[in-house]
């Protein structure tokens, strides 16, 4: 009786464990399970199998293979290639007899997709070919069609369009026989893509339109939208711009309904491009504004640089050439770093057109030259890919032939021994040669780096000297204010005392030893009227303040102040002190700087310098103001502000008497303290030279 009870209990427990195992596996393999949750479920199921089942159970191994394949697919789709490869290695260790034909097919296909995603196209071809062999051998018709389509996609990526078309046509024939409308439409769309790459636009249009009809009959609006987007590109080539625009709008609305923000962003950029091409700038502006809002939600992605390209083109057509150049240069650098070669070419073309619009012929010539070089480089890379495919095929055939010739054991051993000896000799010679070459290269690089470092340090020292030279010196202040009989204090933007004259020493026993001290030592914060005037960050024009408490030595004096802002070598504040009963005294300010064109140059130069600073240091203009000490930083509502600097960012807010020396000092500070790329540095220097030429022409320095 006890034996029967124990047997029943074991049976119940086994059934419970099996049910739990089945639930975990079903949840992992369910198609609607989110990717991250799927990874966790699959890994949990694998751990459960390892802990609760025997390695010899066939159903356990079959489930484990399915879980490994599912994890590989999900991780590859997420771009986690190293993790996906780790699960494939586990599959490779399992005996082949454990795999069903379907699992064997999926194993080779997952390897091929992983190679394809990593741009290892030759390896991908080999894996897809193995998958095709398994499918054909086991008469898996649907899998055969899938493998043919995978091979066609890979050949297309390698620009081997003839083979790609042949494979897609075979896949299409099988899919039509299977009467799978969605899968058939996918292949029709792929064939259309190949014909479009071959510039056979009419053929491409036929396949796209058939794919759209099949998608519509299968109620697949998102797939319809994708293929309509491809068809719109055909219409653009055929100059049917209104038809193209209509299709793109339909696709946009479909993606909008599905809340596919990435696709919406892509379509908005395409719509804006069409409007820019047809000079409908207002519509383009609206669409690009919407695209920018979407990008903020989606984050930086593969469409970010395309957005910058169209923003730059639009800005150029609106006449804002410097802003356009800045946008296009930023996008060009990002596209270059992301290895988006075709987009790099488009940026260079846009930069050329922008320079032509500005009539900057030298810049236009340079951009045009780089545009031609980039096109040639792109053609060469495409040719190299095609050549690599044919070379790999040839090498593969040669290797198979060699394997057939080396079947005999003695021949293999003899060749292996000779090869090992040769490799050892070659390796030794290669190591010696590599060491010699490395030493020469290291010495050359060290010498070159030393020269470059010296040149860079000289340039940095020059810009730092300019920052100091453009500031007010003690000698210049002594010459300007030293002979005035009234007591005078001069301070800079950081509230530091720069100068006190002889009269100040005579009347209040304050001499040059107080230099660089804070003004708060002389005028305490209790003088609220004065400090409110100071904290307004506005130009002060002969403001007369009475009954101010002046702290000098151990004495306190009641005085009147005349406060003025002077723009000499840099912005300074002049404080004239008189006894409490004295009359107001005025100090005239500098004359206004003329010419709106000069003001625009100052605004452009300041904006370009701040952008260069932000890109190079990943910090804001507040840090620039603090570290340079050129601009005043104040606190408003608990936040740091740079109101005086911010007024130089637009023509509308620019002071009537702009402090051009401080703008130039800021530029020199950025050039001295930031590591800028050559294009940005050249652009800043060119604009700086324009400002200095204007100043020299107007005899301002």
CA–CA gap between residue 409 and residue 507 (Å, rounded)? 110
Residue 17 CA to its chain's centroid (Å): 50
- pLDDT recorded at residue 358: 87
Phi, psi of 219 (to 5 degrees): 55, 55
The superfamily in CATH containing domain 474-579 is: PAS domain (3.30.450.20)
pLDDT tens-digit map of 232-267: 888 888 888 888 899 899 988 988 888 888 888 888
**Which residues are within 8 A (CB) of 496 and not within 5 positions of it... i.e. 6 or more apart?**
516, 517, 518, 519
**Which residues are within 8 A (CB) of 284 and not within 5 positions of it... i.e. 6 or more apart?**
272, 273, 275, 276, 310, 314
- pLDDT recorded at residue 618: 92
- pLDDT recorded at residue 10: 40
Dmax over CA atoms of the chain, in Å, equals 122
Distances (CA, A) of 272 to 245, 263, 299, 569, 668: 10, 14, 20, 47, 38
Q: Phi/psi class of residue 247: alpha, beta or left (left: φ > 0; alpha: ψ in -120 to 50)?
A: alpha
CA–CA gap between residue 26 and residue 152 (Å, rounded)? 33
Inter-residue contact 116 to 124 (CB < 8 Å) = yes
- pLDDT recorded at residue 591: 33
pLDDT tens-digit map of 582-620: 554 444 333 333 456 788 889 999 999 999 999 999 999
Which tokens sit at 349? 């073309």
Burial of 285 (0-12, 13-18, 19+ CB in 10 A): middle
CA–CA gap between residue 260 and residue 232 (Å, rounded)? 19
pLDDT tens-digit map of 335-392: 888 778 888 888 889 889 888 988 888 888 888 888 888 888 877 776 655 555 555 5
How many beta carbons lie within 10 A of that of residue 354, not counting itself?
A: 26
Strand-pairing partners, residue 561, are 545, 577
Which tokens sit at 588? 């005239």
Question: pTM for the complete prediction?
Answer: 0.49
Confidence of residue 493 (pLDDT cuts 50, 70, 90): confident
Burial of 282 (0-12, 13-18, 19+ CB in 10 A): exposed
Confidence of residue 1 (pLDDT cuts 50, 70, 90): very low
pLDDT tens-digit map of 169-199: 888 888 888 888 888 988 988 998 888 888 8
- pLDDT recorded at residue 464: 64
- pLDDT recorded at residue 14: 47
Q: Which of 299, 320, 302, 301 is nearest to 311 (CA)?
A: 320
Residues 477-493, mean pLDDT to the nearest whole number:
77
């Amino acid at each position: 009786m006890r034996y029967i009870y124990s047997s029943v209990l074991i049976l119940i427990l086994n059934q419970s464990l099996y049910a739990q195992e089945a639930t975990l596996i079903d949840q992992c393999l369910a198609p609607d399970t989110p990717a991250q949750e799927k990874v966790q479920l699959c890994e949990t199921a694998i751990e459960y199998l390892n802990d609760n089942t025997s390695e010899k159970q066939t159903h356990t191994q079959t489930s484990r293979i399915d879980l490994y394949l599912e994890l590989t697919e999900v991780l590859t789709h997420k771009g986690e290639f190293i993790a996906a490869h780790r699960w494939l290695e586990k599959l490779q260790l399992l005996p082949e007899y454990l795999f069903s034909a379907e699992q064997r097919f999926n194993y080779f296909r997952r390897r091929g997709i992983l190679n394809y995603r990593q741009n290892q196209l030759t390896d991908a071809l080999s894996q897809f070919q193995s998958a095709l062999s398994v499918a054909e051998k086991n008469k898996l018709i649907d899998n055969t069609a899938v493998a043919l389509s995978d091979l066609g996609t890979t050949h297309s990526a390698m620009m081997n369009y003839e083979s790609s078309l042949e494979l897609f046509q075979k896949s299409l024939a099988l899919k039509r026989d299977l009467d799978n409308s969605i899968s058939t439409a996918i292949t029709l769309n792929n064939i259309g893509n190949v014909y479009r790459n071959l510039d056979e636009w009419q053929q491409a249009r036929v396949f796209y339109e058939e794919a759209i009809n099949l998608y519509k009959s299968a109620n697949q609006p998102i797939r319809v939208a994708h293929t309509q987007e491809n068809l719109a590109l055909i219409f653009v080539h055929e100059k049917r711009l209104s038809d193209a625009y209509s299709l793109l709008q339909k696709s946009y609305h479909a993606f909008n309904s599905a809340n596919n923000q990435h696709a919406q962003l892509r379509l908005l950029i395409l719509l804006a491009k069409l409007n820019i091409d047809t000079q409908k700038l207002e519509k383009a502006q609206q669409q690009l504004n919407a695209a920018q809002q979407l990008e903020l939600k989606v984050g930086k992605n593969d469409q970010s640089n395309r957005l910058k390209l169209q923003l730059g083109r639009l800005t150029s057509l609106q006449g804002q050439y410097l802003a356009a150049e800045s946008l296009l240069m930023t996008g060009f650098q990002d596209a270059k770093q992301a290895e988006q070669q075709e987009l790099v070419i488009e940026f260079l073309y846009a930069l050329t057109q922008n320079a032509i619009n500005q009539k900057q012929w030298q810049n236009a010539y340079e951009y045009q030259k780089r545009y031609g070089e980039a096109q040639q480089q792109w053609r060469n890379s495409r040719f190299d890919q095609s050549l690599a495919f044919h070379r790999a095929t040839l090498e593969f055939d040669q290797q198979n032939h060699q394997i057939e010739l080396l079947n005999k054991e003695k021949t293999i051993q003899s060749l292996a021994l000779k090869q090992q000896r040769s490799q050892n000799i070659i390796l030794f010679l290669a190591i010696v040669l590599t060491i010699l070459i490395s030493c020469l290269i290291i010495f050359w690089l060290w010498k070159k780096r030393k020269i470059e470092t010296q040149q860079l340090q000289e340039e940095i020292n020059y810009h730092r000297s300019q920052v100091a030279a453009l500031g007010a010196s003690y000698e210049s202040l002594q010459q300007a204010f030293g002979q005035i009989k009234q007591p005078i204090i001069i301070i800079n933007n950081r509230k530091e005392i720069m100068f006190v004259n002889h009269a100040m020493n005579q009347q209040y026993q304050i001499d040059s030893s107080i230099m660089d001290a804070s003004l708060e030592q002389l005028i305490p914060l209790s003088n609220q009227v004065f400090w409110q005037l100071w904290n307004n960050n506005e130009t002060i024009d002969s403001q007369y303040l009475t009954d101010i408490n002046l702290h000098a030595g151990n004495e306190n004096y009641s005085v009147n102040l005349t406060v003025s802002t002077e723009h000499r070598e840099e912005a300074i504040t002049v404080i004239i002190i008189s006894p409490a009963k004295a009359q107001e005294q005025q100090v005239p300010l500098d004359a206004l700087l003329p010419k709106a064109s000069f003001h625009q140059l100052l605004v452009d130069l300041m904006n370009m310098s701040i952008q260069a600073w932000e890109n190079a240091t990943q910090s804001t203009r507040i840090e620039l103001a603090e570290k340079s000490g050129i601009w005043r930083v104040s606190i408003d509502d608990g936040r740091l502000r740079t109101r005086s600097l911010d007024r130089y960012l637009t023509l509308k807010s620019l002071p009537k008497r702009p402090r051009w020396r401080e703008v130039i000092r800021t530029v020199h500070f950025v050039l001295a303290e930031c590591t800028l790329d050559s294009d940005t540095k050249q652009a800043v220097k060119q604009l700086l030279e324009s400002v200095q030429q204007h100043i020299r022409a107007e005899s301002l320095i």
